[in-house]
Amino acid sequence: MNITTKAIDIAIQRHGIEKVSKLMNISVSSIRKWKRDGRLPRTEFTGESDYASILRCLTGISHAKILLSSKYRWANK
């Protein structure tokens, strides 16, 4: 399990998937896809979104660790 997946799991355990999806203004299915793939969407790296910051606030896991883990998964997909 990579750090991005771990952060998503912790956020869901602490707050529930419905609340996490509302805080991020995305669908529950999107969160499930990120968890399955172990990465955040491309928009995280183009500056169109900042979901890693929300995950940081919900979990306490470093923003940089979440992004690096996600970026690694994109590079090795």
Which DSSP letter does residue 39 get?
Answer: S
41 contacts 51 by C-beta, under 8 angstroms: yes
50 contacts 23 by C-beta, under 8 angstroms: no
Q: How many CB atoms lie within 10 A of CB 31?
A: 19
How do residues 21-44 score in pLDDT, each as one tens digit?
A: 999 999 999 999 999 999 999 999
pLDDT of residue 52: 95
pLDDT of residue 72: 67
pLDDT of residue 77: 66
Which DSSP letter does residue 45 get?
Answer: H
How do residues 44-75 score in pLDDT, each as one tens digit?
A: 989 999 999 999 999 999 999 999 888 767 77
Q: How many helices (H) and strands (E) does the chain have?
A: 6, 0
